[in-house]
Amino acid sequence: MSDLKNVGRSIRKVDALSIATGRALYTDDFPLENPLSLMLLHSPHAHAEIIAINTSEAELVDGVVDILTYENTPHTLYTTAGQGYPEPSPYDYRMFDRKVRFIGDRVALVAAETAEAARKALAMIQVKYGELEAIFDPEGSMEPLAPKLHGEDAYAPLPVKYDPLRNLAAEVELGFGDMAKGFSEADLIEDNIYHTHFASHCAMEPHATKAYFDEKGRLVVITSTQVPFHVRRTLARVLDIPLRSIRVVKPRIGGAFGGKQEIILEPMAAYVAWKHKRSVRFVLSRKEVFTFCRTRHPFRMRFRTGYLKDGTITAMDVDALMNSGAYGAHALTVLSNSGSKMLPLFNKIENVHFLGRTVYTNTPVGGAYRGYGATQAYFGFNQQIDIIARKTSQDILDFAKKWHIRNGETSEVFRILGEGKEGVEQYIGSCGLDECIDRGAEKIRWYERRDLHFSPVPEKVRGVGMAISMQGSAIPLIDMASASMKMNEDGSFNLHVGATDLGTGSDTVLSQIAAEVLGVSPEKIIILSSDTDLTPFDVGAYASSTTYLSGKAVEKCALNVREQILTTASQILEIPRDELLYGEGRISDRSRSTEVRLEEVCLHALYTKDQYQIQSCASHVASESPPPFMAQFAEIEVDTQTGEVKVIKFVSAVDCGRAINPRLAEGQVEGATINGISYALHENYIFSDNGRMMNDSFWDYKIFTAPDIPEIHTIIVDSEEKTGPYGAKSVSEIGLNGPAPAIANAIYDAIGVRLFETPFTPDKILRELKKL
């Protein structure tokens, strides 16, 4: 495939100039005629029952049209998790509820002619709460006497373990081999508990939904979402209105990272619009995004690893406790992924056991977040292997190479653990992890830096650390993507995809794939994505699926179109189809003496005889989920006086299969990496004793800005995944897995301090230094 013309080229994103010149429209940029402003009243209590709610005074505020509460809205149970049907997440959520379960939970919604009126009315709603005992610590959540968040009515639509009366939102257990034997054979056992913390996605565009009625009286919902088709399905069910009456449009999205795989605003917005037959505007404040939307699920993960003195691992036992917060969005699947995206990496361990539980607490709600459980799991995993490598006097790079999964190999975990059901057996068809490790090590100058404790000034010490990880590419046998395409008289093509570009560049990558198949430049592909009226179905942008899954649907669709072009060309040229060559923009005989241009092919098909439209559609379901692989290296400097950790240099080397657009792939890695470093060092939810997030602004929730950026290197290794479009796998999530453990391992390398809990703030460093 060395003669590729479009795939493998770093062309501009198809929407780049419209964004750069300020013309691209995001949800809140669509003008509506006199929309109602929607504004939420949030709970001041972590756990309470609403005894009485009095909206009568608020309703008298000039301009107030309606106030929604649990008393006047549908009671249908659903999940805000935007997943396939039936969802693997429990149905434990209503549009409004008589009970509030975390500070920031929804209590009431005001719909008013102006934002000022809505704000004024909010302050006049009188709510009498009956406070309930709250539980914040996931460790105590399942105790018999712990307060229960959800009643008997909450249920899981899939046959999975779910027990709200014990605060158990999900449970996953798997094992193979003989654990007793594995541990009895071990010379040593490494037994550690790792904690990861809350984090906000911090997409620059706050969650936003607008809705209006078109001229036929259908409801059009423009929304900042990763999952337009799941939004439509959920709205129809929750509002009990015909699905055919709803059109969901995804415009440009100002970042998502999993945070917009949630159906939070849409049901409320659509309900008000439908009830009053009015257009509505619902845009959250940054504070609401922090406190009311989703977070990264915190984990406690205990790793018990048995091993011989030579480093042979004899058993791995993982006990995971995931804090779901007040509702169970992605409660099962993030938990499953913490096992299924981690355990196969060291597939040579014969005795493995994993027990994971997700529990409810009265804290902000966890959800999908780039990395999706793998990020949390690899924090412990990579420190565990660093510790064992050191204790058995091995270089962690050699140790990792000895144990990681390779081409042609499989893992029992793939078969056992799926998403709400059994997994899918798969054999690795592409693994460039050795090359990732080698090239990353060279770039960070591993062998010149490791164990050196280099000290540029007396109080500062440097160190290097590494972390490896894998992710997946779509959910096998569950996720489906589709595409449709038609040809125009100038040899251009309209490509319609359900795939959801969140800023990731999927519109561009999918255009490149279509252009490659059809032998045209990408400008000849006119892409339209994510409109439930105009484009075919796609599950949406999650599970690292778009390039791999939607890309394959586009490739199939374009191949069908290409076949029709050849058939038509055969009629025009009167040469058998099998003797034709498909060239750039033209079809010719083998000697290239007779040819017909694509324009002529389309004109012939549309206007000459037995006229027809050259067009096709195709769907794709993946039978496996080939993992991308990554090795990440940190060089850090610890200030032993202040406890501050500074990243000096960070290297990410990735095997993402063939990069369809290398520059965009690098951008995915760089963005995930900086998010990961920022998460490891700064970002955190700081709670008051009663469960209120205290730092709900960018001033106090510090994320990396330009001056914080260290020297960054991204390496894309050569790789080809045969099941993917032009050899591609996924790339968007994996880069978040390595920063925290690579930095933790580097801190140990520098000062001999092992941090089992994120983030690595100065107080923790100083506390640990004192213990030395």
Partner 1 sequence: MKDIFTINGQRIEYEFDETDVLLDVLRNNGHYEVKKGCGEGECGACAILLDGILVNSCQILAASVRGKEITTVRGLGNVHDPHPLQEAFADTGAIQCGFCTPGMILASYALLKENPHPSDDEIKQALDGNICRCTGYVKIFEAVRLAAERMRKNV
Nearer to partner 1, 364 or 671 (CB): 671
Using CB under 8 A as the binding rule, whether residue 644 contacts partner 1 is answered as: no
Q: Which is nearer to partner 1, 10 or 521 (CB)?
A: 10
Contact of 740 with 379, CB cutoff 8 Å: yes
Please pick, from the candidates 298, 339, 498, 505, the single residue that binds partner 1 as defined by CB under 8 A.
505
Among 69, 411, 544, 673, binds partner 1 (CB under 8 A): 673
The distance of closest approach from Cβ of residue 19 to partner 1 in the complex, given in angstroms and rounded to an integer, is 3
In sequence order, what E strands does 242-386 have? 246-249, 280-283, 294-296, 299-307, 313-325, 352-360, 365-367
* Residue 759 preceded by cis peptide, ω within 30: yes
Q: What angle do CA 117, 41, 248 make, to 5 degrees?
A: 85
Closest separation in Å from C-beta 157 to partner 1: 32
Q: Nearest distance from residue 162's CB to partner 1, in Å?
A: 33
Query: With binding defined as CB under 8 A, does residue 52 bind partner 1?
Result: no
Q: What is the CB-side half-sphere exposure of residue 641 using CA atoms within 13 A?
A: 4
Does 25 bind partner 1 (CB under 8 A)? Our answer is yes
Decide whether 421 or 646 has the Cβ nearer to partner 1.
646
DSSP assignment of 540-596: -S-TT-IIIIIHHHHHHHHHHHHHHHHHHHHHHHT--GGGEEE-SSEEEETTSSSEE
Segments of 197-233 assigned E as strands: 208-213, 219-223
Q: Does 19 bind partner 1 (CB under 8 A)?
A: yes
Question: Of these, 21, 34, 591, 593, which contacts partner 1 (CB under 8 A)?
Answer: 21
Single residue of 252, 357, 439, 729 touching partner 1 by CB under 8 A = 252
CB-based contacts of 618, cutoff 8 Å, min separation 6: 482, 483, 484, 553, 554, 556, 557, 559, 560
Of 76, 73, 49, 74, the C-alpha closest to 149 is 49
Window contacting partner 1 (CB under 8 A); options: 408-416, 502-510, 608-616, 763-771: 502-510
- Asked if residue 521 binds partner 1 (CB under 8 A), the reply is no
Give the separation between CA 38 and CA 114, rounded to whole angstroms.
Answer: 9
> How would you classify residue 477: left for phi > 0, otherwise alpha for psi between -120 and 50, otherwise beta?
left
Residues between 714 and 743 that touch partner 1 (CB under 8 A): 714
Q: Judged by CB under 8 A, which stretch of 164-172, 359-367, 641-649, 704-712 contacts partner 1?
A: 704-712
Q: Interacting stretch for partner 1, rule CB under 8 A, among 23-31, 544-552, 740-748, 753-761? A: 23-31
Residues 275-304 that bind partner 1 (CB under 8 A): 285-286
Is position 698 an interface residue for partner 1 (rule: CB under 8 A)? Answer: yes
34: contact with partner 1 by CB under 8 A: no
119 binds partner 1 (CB under 8 A): no
Take residue 226 and report the two structure tokens written for it: 């990763």
- Look up residue 462 and give its DSSP letter: E
Q: How far is the CB of 699 from partner 1 (least distance, A)?
A: 5
Quick one: 344 exposed, middle or buried, by C-beta within 10 A (0-12, 13-18, 19+)? buried
Q: Does 545 contact partner 1 by CB under 8 A?
A: no
Rounded to the nearest 5 percent, the helix, strand and coil shares of the chain are 30, 25, 45
Q: Among 5, 26, 494, 606, indicate the residue that binds partner 1 (CB under 8 A).
A: 26
CA-closest candidate to residue 257, choices 204, 297, 209, 300: 204
699 binds partner 1 (CB under 8 A): yes
Considering CB under 8 A, how many residues would be counted as binding partner 1?
A: 57
Whole-angstrom Cα distance, residue 94 to residue 70?
8
Q: Which residue has the tokens 């038509």?
A: 568
Strands in 586-589's sheet, in edge-to-edge order, are 580-582, 586-589, 595-597
Does 28 interact with partner 1 (rule: CB under 8 A)? yes
CA distances from 23 to 246, 260, 531 (A): 27, 23, 19
- Closest CB 464 distance from partner 1, rounded Å: 20
Any contact of residue 31 with partner 1 (CB under 8 A)?
Answer: yes
Give the other-Cβ count within 10 Å of 410's Cβ.
Answer: 14
| Shortest CB 286 distance to partner 1, Å | 4
**Shortest Cβ distance from residue 285 to partner 1 (Å)?**
7
Name the DSSP letter for residue 657.
B
Beta carbon nearer to partner 1, 606 or 703: 703
Q: Does 253 bind partner 1 (CB under 8 A)?
A: yes
Interacting residues of 268 by C-beta distance below 8 A, sequence separation 6+: 38, 40, 68, 95, 106, 109, 282
Is residue 257 a contact residue for partner 1 (CB under 8 A)? yes
Radius of gyration of the chain (CA): 27
Residue 22 as a binder of partner 1 (CB under 8 A): the answer is yes
3-state secondary structure of 258: coil
Is position 113 an interface residue for partner 1 (rule: CB under 8 A)? no
Question: Is residue 144 a contact residue for partner 1 (CB under 8 A)?
Answer: no
Piece of 197-205, 519-527, 590-598, 749-757 that binds partner 1 (CB under 8 A): 197-205
Minimum Å gap between C-beta 468 and partner 1 is 20
The verdict on 371 binding partner 1 (CB under 8 A) reads no
* Residue 675 makes contact with partner 1 by CB under 8 A: yes
- Binding part of the chain for partner 1, among 144-152, 204-212, 408-416, 594-602 by CB under 8 A, reads 204-212
Residue from 55, 347, 504, 758 binding partner 1 (CB under 8 A) = 504
Burial annotation 527-563 (CB, 10 A radius, 16+ → b, else e): bebbbbeebbbbbbbbbbbbbbbbbbbbbbbbebbbe
**CA–CA gap between residue 715 and residue 724 (Å, rounded):** 20
Residue type, 189: I
Is 246 near partner 1 (CB under 8 A)? no
202 contributes a contact to partner 1 by CB under 8 A = yes
Verify binding: residue 415, partner 1, rule CB under 8 A: no
Among the listed ranges 242-250, 385-393, 498-506, 627-635, the one in contact with partner 1 (CB under 8 A) is 498-506
Buried b or exposed e, range 159-178, using 16+ CB within 10 angstroms = ebebebebbbbbbbebebbe
Output 536 or 676, the one with its CB closest to partner 1. 676
Mask for 330-359, x = binds partner 1 (CB under 8 A): ------------------------------
51 binds partner 1 (CB under 8 A): no
What residues are paired with 40 via a beta bridge?
Answer: 109
Q: Is 703 in the site for partner 1 (CB under 8 A)?
A: yes
Q: Toward partner 1, which CB reaches closer, 41 or 672?
A: 672
Question: Where does this chain bind partner 1 (CB under 8 A)?
Answer: 10, 12-13, 15-26, 28-29, 31, 201-206, 252-257, 285-286, 502-505, 663-664, 666-667, 670-675, 697-699, 703-707, 709, 712, 714
